[in-house]
Structure 1
Amino acid sequence: MTSQHQLAGKHALVTGASSGLGWQFALTLARAGAKVSLAARSVDKLESLARDIQSFDGRALPVRMDVTDVDSINAGVAVSETELGPIDILVNNSGVSAQSPSEKVTETDFDFVMDTNAKGTFFVAQAVGKSMIKRGEGGKIINIASVAANRVLKQNIAYCMSKAAVKHMTKALADEWGRYKIRVNCINPGYIVTGLNQDYWETDSGKRLISKLPGRRVGEPNVLDGALLLLAGSGSDFMNGSILEVDDGLTVSGF
């Protein structure tokens, strides 16, 4: 691992760490030497991840956090910093979706997606950003959006809207907080296999979708490791407001 990817002595907070991409992000940062606060609503799953990290002598702290509740966010950040020190890296990863034709989207569905993906992402960034500003040593905020920030995913309008908001929020915060040495960047993943969707890719409709993708494949969570370590480490010290597409060419394809 290059020195730019060495994170020894750094403290990273990962939201949505109990499954999927968040689980992988936490493992990757811990293997790079970071202390990791693992945030999610389900602490039982976080404790399992913490044991995995401790098995290779990493340090991990499960933190109960509901990103739709600002008080829960602030409490979780406070616990993380009390136990592991100031947060140097935030991976703002919590996200949900509610697929439905637009004419059938309910207010409950809409609020569920927007409260987690847009509102929650902002207030987690705000809580960590305030701490970084007060400390005065800067830091890295990595927002996880989606190809849906740039292109339509069918029958998923609230998700598309929320991820476009995360993308633009990244740029707005980068503009405001650059003076504090806080680098705010974003990863837009393409189609990635996770525990929630792995069965879909074996269905006829999943296989049809794969056949239309530029590379005729979907990614495993570790395909995001390079972008994550770049944005978390010193290699991104001159990057601010950058949006990294890690999607095997989906954003630029005609599909």
Structure 2
Amino acid sequence: MTDQVAAPARLFDLSGKVAIVTGGSSGLGIQFARTLAAAGADIALGARRAEQLQVVAEEIRALGRRVLAVRTDVSSRADCDDLVAQAVAELGDVHVLVNNAGTSRTVPAHREGPEDFTAVIDVNLIGAHQMALAFARHCIAAGHGGSIVNISSVLALSGTTTPQAGYAASKAGLLGLTRDLAMQWSGRKGIRVNALAPGYFASELTQPLLADPAQAAALTDRTALGRLGNPEELAGALLLLASDAGSYITGATLAVDGGWSLH
């Protein structure tokens, strides 16, 4: 008699789960929230722009999901703790964290002040660490596991001609953080920790680059698939890492970059 095989749709199902998405007011964060909601999860959104968060919340609510929007600056530990606490109070135990909040500065390194570099690290790396801790502490106290998906970048894996030292350093650091937290929490605490490394997608962060036709052409020419990504093309990878479909995946980095990192 052969082992039973779970239906693929059930493996990716997040019904009854609560997912937190930081940076959920714009760009890829909106797509991540839509994807998780479509898979059945209720959503807690965190971002600095409160008004835009409410717009996204209404869209998620229209999908038939419960949703909470909390103004959150992930560089503040108190804000990170508050987002998790409010999510638990309003929606119940949290099971998935998408660490997506991020910022970037495109400036030559020799012209970049230390405060500019630090501002990027504070959000992209320290903020992700603080959110992971707030999330994990709840999961551990509640006695159940969870899944953390850290949103890194292809620039953590491969270089680019655009000067983004702070961004590249923060996203590379996020990969090291992912591996370390996976070692600490996966076996003992049941919390899987993985990273998703998107390539170039049309988003708020990439808009300044794509506004320059020459720069946009250079980006697509380097990408093996010869085009930019569509945000919905991240859905499958996100669900794999967030759901039971990825139950034996931890400490991994999954690049969804159209082949950019082949160079």
> Is the TM value for this pair above 0.5?
yes
Of residues 210-219 and 195-204 in structure 1, the stretch that sits farther from structure 2 once superposed is 195-204
Q: Is the 8 A contact 1:98 1:159 kept in 2?
A: yes
Which letter does structure 2 place at the counterpart of 1:140? S
CA shift for structure 1 position 140:
0.4
SS in structure 2 at match of 1:45: helix
Of residues 47-56 and 137-146 in structure 1, the stretch that sits farther from structure 2 once superposed is 47-56
Structure-to-structure mapping, 1:152-163, within 5 angstroms? 152-153=159-160, 154-163=162-171
Q: Does 1:210 align with 2:220?
A: yes
Structure-to-structure mapping, 1:96-245, within 5 angstroms? 96-153=103-160, 154-178=162-186, 179-198=188-207, 200-201=209-210, 203-245=213-255
CA shift for structure 1 position 4:
1.1
Q: Is the 8 A contact 2:222 2:260 kept in 1?
A: no
SS in structure 2 at match of 1:248: coil
SS in structure 2 at match of 1:251: helix
Partners of 2:145 and 2:208 in 1: CA distance: 41
Partners of 1:150 and 1:195 in 2: CA distance: 21
1:201-244, CA deviations, whole angstroms, 9 ceiling, x for partnerless residues? 35222123322321110001111100111111111111110110
Partners of 1:91 and 1:199 in 2: CA distance: 25
Q: Does 1:250 align with 2:257?
A: no
TM-score by length of 1: 0.96
Gaps of 5+ in 1: none
Distance 1:29 1:234, change over 3 A: same
Distance 1:189 1:132, change over 3 A: same
SS in structure 2 at match of 1:194: coil
Partners of 1:46 and 1:65 in 2: CA distance: 10
Gaps of 5+ in 2: 1-7
Pick from 77, 86, 90: which aligns with 1:79?
A: 86
Which letter does structure 1 place at the counterpart of 2:219? L
CA shift for structure 1 position 80:
1.1
TM-score by length of 2: 0.93
SS in structure 2 at match of 1:142: strand
RMSD between aligned residues: 1.3
Distance 1:239 1:196, change over 3 A: closer
Q: Is the 8 A contact 2:154 2:199 kept in 1?
A: yes
CA shift for structure 1 position 195:
3.7
Which letter does structure 2 place at the counterpart of 1:165? G
Which letter does structure 2 place at the counterpart of 1:159? Y
Identity %: 39
1:128-181, CA deviations, whole angstroms, 9 ceiling, x for partnerless residues? 011111112100001000011112233111111100110110000000001111
Q: Which residue of 1 aligns with 2:4?
A: none
Q: What is the number of residues matched between the two proteins? A: 253
Partners of 1:66 and 1:92 in 2: CA distance: 12
